[in-house]
Amino acid sequence: MSGIDVDLSVLDSIAEGLDRGAAGLEALGGSVPSGVDAGPMSAVIASMLGQVVDSAGNVSVALSGAAESVRQCRRYYQRADAEASASMDEIRRAMQ
């Protein structure tokens, strides 16, 4: 992988940030009002609020999935670095 340099701690930091974003959205779930009193517009406002809550849930799931993908990439780069730095003796021993 000539010319590619990935800092594993940066990947950890990215995954943690994505997890924090997902957790922050999830934490907001308890703050959603159970009902809306907007007179004749109550149903419309409640529907809009429901859509916002659904969208926030989808974003939270996407952030968690992205965090896991970043972790998977980190494992890949770590393994590739270890394989690239293996000496010929280590490779021979592993193949026996």
Mind listing the pLDDT tens digit for each residue in 46-78? 999 999 999 999 999 999 999 999 999 999 999
What's the helix, strand, coil split of the chain in %, to 5?
A: 80, 0, 20
Confidence (pLDDT) at 20? 98
pTM higher than 0.85, yes or no?
A: no
C-alpha–C-alpha distance, residues 45 and 87, integer Å: 65
- In single-letter form, the type of residue at position 36 comes to V
Q: Which two tokens stand for residue 76?
A: 């890949």
Confidence (pLDDT) at 27? 92
